[in-house]
Structure 1
Amino acid sequence: MPQAVSATPSRILSPDFARGLTLLGIAGANLATAWAPVNDAPLASLMGGVVDGSVADKIAVMIGAMFLHVRGLPMFATLLGFGIGLISMSLYRRQYPLAAARKLIAKRYGFLALFGLVHCIFMFYGDIMFGYGLIGMLLALCIAVRDKPLLISAAVLMGLNLLLFLALGVAFLFFSDAMSGNALSAGGMLGTGAFSEQLPWIDDSYWGQLFMGAILAVATPFSLPQLIMMIGPLMLIGFVAARRGVLTDVETYRRWLQISAGVALGVMVCIGVPLGLAGIGVLPKEWELGLFMLNQGFGIFTGPGIVAMIALAAEPLQRRLNEGGTLPAPLVAVQALGKRSMSGYVLQSLLCMIFVTNYSLGIGQGKGAADTLAIAAVIWLVSVVLAYALELLGKKGPLEYLHRRLSYGHEGLPQVYQPVPAQR
């Protein structure tokens, strides 16, 4: 495997901080668009809704447009690729042959896809782990490819994805009257709107979750080309960043991290602000859908940028940790959630199923963006507290434990590769 780094220092803080913090954004985006959308809101129906002209809802919509929607997915995709890069380097140091390393990585991300499939069907039809796992398996084939071809491939895929959403965004902006309607509401964007109109029980029963989950689970492999265009380049960038030690040597890569952070801020301001303003009616509300599509296209550029921001901000803390220092308890708690991000992500679905859905307690249904954002913050805080408790007990997250056990076996990875004896 080319371009291996020789060693990894003490645990890198920024990926865990990024995952832990971004789970708040994922909760906020999912609450507003999937768990408790207000599809018939007069304003911001794509981003949680403004109910009765609420100023709080309008503020929440602006926050969501800038910092939540299409922010968590690209960040996690970048770090997923980073994780594959770290694993490939670890296998290289353990003297794994290329074929064995590919097989092990494909196995690990195959189990992630399986977890996502179960999550999609039985808990949340908006699951992304299934797609992450499928693309992770494909990336296993690329671990011996050099950095330059990988980065060129990432640029081409990003360009194709951007062209697709630019075309959609421009079409919706210029032909908003002809292309608007209930089918393009928040529910419709997630693939549920058409079903909900004909089959009301889709939103009102757990059987509806199973129905939609099964449909989207079957559809995900067929949408793989689009997922590859959207998620694939971010995973390639993260993979190369891990091989080059970008997050372990912030000083050397400071300029590139600052550029990435600047690009992300540019998208948040230049795309997120107009999107939010259209959502709350300051700009023509007919522009919301077109700008939402542009955010889908440009939003993927925020993934590496958010990671870069957190890496730069965490540099003094990383230095303190490397020198044997400790971190404040709140930061340890967020880091603990980042270490257990899969369990935290699925916990969000469990709590929403119990407290938010129409077929359960229905908290937040029809309430608008401010309420859904507040509920998301409470759910996130619960996950932070539980993750911190597990950290104090020295326990992994339950899904992380199961995933590692299935991927590496009871004994874990050997320090040096041990080939399996041939069967006689």
Structure 2
Amino acid sequence: MSGVKQRAVSLDLARGFMLLLITLAHAPLYLYGAEPGMLQRVAGASFFDQIVNLFGILLIDNRARAMFAVLLGYGIVLAFQSQISRGFSGKEALAILRRRSWVLILFGIALAVLIGGQDIFMAYGIAILLVGWLLPRSNRALIRTFIIVTACYAVVIPILWGFNMQDIGSYSFPPEFAATDTYLSYTLERLFTFPITPVLIHLMFPVLPPVLLGMWIAKFRLLTNPELRLKTLYFIASIGLSVSLAGALPLTFVGTGWQPPLFTVGILYGIHILTGFAGGLAYAALFGIIGAKLTQPGRYTFTLTALGKRSLTFYVWNEAILVLLLSPVALDLGGRTSNGTATLIALGVWGLSVLLAAMMEKRNRNGPLEVLLRRLVYRRS
């Protein structure tokens, strides 16, 4: 029973916190009316805005996505092992996992096209399809694949982003929305462009390396039985955070007295993305440590783990609320909101999801998307 409790605390706390990071990362993408700033972040109109941007670049951007990918990799190993323990063969367990991948992809299409949110389900569903063959293989095969995949990305990503920033012609990304967008026009646009989204994510914002890292730590049960691996978790957290901060720091100087060429900024952004893998792994390790230390979870732990248990449902919920509040197709706050205010809105959106998840937990209600996922994946003959 102890192992089960620790697993629930570590994994669900991490998933609940991950939703906060992702909501904070996505809110600035809707601020089409603000002055362009650095990459996806708009310029800071106040000291608070500038602090938000600084912390965003150092701790959130390209780190929240990596943490999601690490937890996904960990989760698919647990799902595979669970099926094996229930008497399924390796082939049958992989077939179930592939069905799960396709359902995630369908959820992602609905999120991107019908809701207009920032989708990562399609990319992660494809990632599971690409790495699932490693589940019955040895750790050596997993490590070898990680080294090869990461080495390829390490060479390609900075160069790709160098040329991409030159093509953009600015330090900032173009806004995702325009003031003239309507729900119909944006939906029709997404209907034609959604197949490109997961391809671009895998090409420009790679998720395979952190997924493989999550699979690797799952083989050693670092989050399932964290109390047995505390020294390892402390080591991963300290090294990972150091690498993550070192890779993010150069971007904080761009535009503040330093005006490097666009190609250089692209290379720095590529490094920012690559070192985000270490950041995502470190965040997961930190919650392994927290889970090992919590002997009597209290109220705040209860609410955050309730959210983590329903992370699929509340990821979509948070994205939908951000679209409703900030996009020009709905309430249009993004056309007249600063980065700092958008961060406060994101905190409020996440806080509301925590309260709703806690209410569902008290009533023993699962997340509706989790229920739907299980019904579609675990077909009964």
Question: Is the shorter-chain TM-score for this pair beyond 0.5, marking a shared fold?
Answer: yes
Is 1:31–1:37's contact at 8 Å kept on the other side of the alignment? no
Partner of 1:112: 104
Distance 2:105 2:134 in 1: 18
Give 1:255 shift.
3.5
Give 1:225 shift.
5.7
Q: How does 1:9-408 map to 2 (within 5 A)?
A: 9-10=4-5, 11-32=7-28, 34-37=29-32, 40-41=35-36, 43-44=37-38, 46-51=40-45, 54-124=46-116, 126-168=118-160, 181=169, 185-187=172-174, 192=176, 201=180, 204-220=181-197, 222-223=199-200, 226=203, 230-278=206-254, 281-284=256-259, 290-317=267-294, 320=295, 325=296, 327-408=297-378
**Larger of the two Rg values belongs to structure:** 1
Give 1:90 shift.
1.0
Is 2:10–2:224's contact at 8 Å kept on the other side of the alignment? no
Flag the 1:375–1:48 CA change in 2: closer, same or farther, 3 A: farther
Is 1:44–1:50's contact at 8 Å kept on the other side of the alignment? no
Is 1:86–1:243's contact at 8 Å kept on the other side of the alignment? no
Flag the 1:62–1:288 CA change in 2: closer, same or farther, 3 A: farther
Give 1:171 shift.
6.3
Distance 2:226 2:337 in 1: 43
Give 1:261 shift.
1.2
- Which residue type is aligned with residue 358 of structure 2? Y
Is 1:45–1:185's contact at 8 Å kept on the other side of the alignment? yes
Give 1:153 shift.
0.6
Partner of 1:416: none
Q: Size of the alignment, in residue pairs?
A: 377
Give 1:364 shift.
3.9
Distance 2:104 2:76 in 1: 12
Give 1:222 shift.
4.5
- TM-score, normalisation: structure 1: 0.81
Q: Counterpart of 1:139 in 2: which secondary structure?
A: helix
Distance 1:222 1:293 in 2: 17
Q: How does 1:409-424 map to 2 (within 5 A)?
A: 409=379
CA offsets per residue over residues 96-117 of structure 1, 9 Å max, x none? 1121111111112211111111
- Which residue type is aligned with residue 131 of structure 1? A
Is 2:23–2:318's contact at 8 Å kept on the other side of the alignment? yes
Distance 1:261 1:65 in 2: 19
Distance 2:374 2:3 in 1: 20
Flag the 1:117–1:39 CA change in 2: closer, same or farther, 3 A: same
Is 1:50–1:369's contact at 8 Å kept on the other side of the alignment? yes
CA offsets per residue over residues 237-281 of structure 1, 9 Å max, x none? 2123223222233244333322321233223422323323425x2
Distance 1:161 1:259 in 2: 25
Flag the 1:225–1:360 CA change in 2: closer, same or farther, 3 A: closer
Flag the 1:37–1:278 CA change in 2: closer, same or farther, 3 A: farther
Is 1:164–1:297's contact at 8 Å kept on the other side of the alignment? no
Give 1:125 shift.
5.3
- Which residue type is aligned with residue 58 of structure 2? M
Is 1:154–1:236's contact at 8 Å kept on the other side of the alignment? yes
Flag the 1:282–1:211 CA change in 2: closer, same or farther, 3 A: farther
Is 1:364–1:371's contact at 8 Å kept on the other side of the alignment? no
- Which residue type is aligned with residue 12 of structure 1? A
- TM-score, normalisation: structure 2: 0.89
Give 1:39 shift.
6.1
- Structure 2: where are the runs of 5+ without partners? none
Is 2:134–2:141's contact at 8 Å kept on the other side of the alignment? no
- Which residue type is aligned with residue 394 of structure 1? N
Flag the 1:157–1:56 CA change in 2: closer, same or farther, 3 A: same
Percent of aligned positions that are identical = 24
Give 1:292 shift.
2.9
Give 1:223 shift.
4.4
- Structure 1: where are the runs of 5+ without partners? 1-6, 411-419
Partner of 1:415: none
Flag the 1:331–1:225 CA change in 2: closer, same or farther, 3 A: closer
Distance 1:362 1:45 in 2: 22
Q: Counterpart of 1:187 in 2: which secondary structure?
A: coil
CA offsets per residue over residues 276-320 of structure 1, 9 Å max, x none? 3425x2544767555333212221221211101121123111xx2
Deviates more, 1:7-16 or 1:377-386: 7-16
Flag the 1:40–1:394 CA change in 2: closer, same or farther, 3 A: same
Q: CA RMSD in A?
A: 2.7
Distance 1:224 1:31 in 2: 18
Give 1:387 shift.
0.7
Distance 1:289 1:22 in 2: 26
